[in-house]
Amino acid sequence: MRLSENDFPAIGLGTWQNTVPDECANSVQTALELGYRHIDTAHYYGNEESVGRGLQQSDIERDDVVVASKVHAEKFGLDYEGVIEGAKKSCERMNLERLDLLYVHWPVLQYDAEETLSAFEQLERDGVIDHVGLSNYSIDLLDEALSVLDETPLALQMEMHPFLHQDEILEYAQEHDIWLIAYSPLARGNVFESDVLQSIAEKHDVSEAQVSIAWLLSKDNVRVIPKASSEAHLRDNLNAVDLTLDEEDIKRIDNVDRQERYVERDDSPWLE
């Protein structure tokens, strides 16, 4: 599915840690039947087969769903052949002819912008993927990637939530017309402990999860992929699309002065 800056689903299903096969497949199926149209997985998650089964179990047309995966340095590798093999394996595991979106999971270890991204562009030319995505990049690495790629990547996936605003990265995404896909939008559940989010949630008679997601979606170029498995949580997260926060609510969360990452590795680009 060729996507544009106007038609990326506001909310998708993140599947990290959703590794029990039947539970994963059923949660994907349930999400699609509730109205989700973006499913996110990765080599590293070890659940691509289950995600694919959930897609097959659903009655939703394949072309109506954005399916994204990621190539990981410790799996197939980020050299040219590793990227090509990894993408084809993802399609094979999910029983798909193509991926709508494929990310570089982390630009680490054997990552080389020219070699790695040239493989992504070859996959795009060959029809194995529709769009290139980047994940967990620093500004410097983004500049390098954009200088190598013939086309601007569709999406940049980063951790983002009320305790990690990512202002610099967001501004970069907005300037270059890139979707910023916010993972861990509930800060690993920590939004439920925030006095600010509790207060706003009570004001609107919604959950803290909905407040966090609605705050993210109030930002230009931002989309979210909260992970959930139960139907109740899937519904609750999806309902955030219909929640409109007022300017005071948004400003209160904008003013939360915390910079807390919940996803990290020793060689993260921002630690250099």
Residues of the chain with pLDDT below 50 are none
Task: Report d(CA 111, CA 10) in Å as an integer.
Answer: 30
Is the pTM here over 0.85, yes or no? yes
Q: What was the pLDDT predicted at 5?
A: 53
Cβ burial of 210 (10 Å; 0-12, 13-18, 19+) is buried
Which is the catalytic residue, given 36, 45, 172, 183? 45
CB atoms within 10 A of CB 34: 14
Is 262 among the residues known to form the active site?
Answer: no
CB 212 within 8 A of CB 161: yes
Q: pLDDT tens-digit profile of 155-178?
A: 999 999 999 999 999 999 999 999
pLDDT tens-place string over residues 203-220: 999 999 999 999 999 999
What integer pLDDT is reported at residue 67 of this predicted model? Answer: 97
CA-atom Rg of the chain in angstroms:
18
- Within 13 A of 211's CA, how many CA atoms are on the CB side? 31
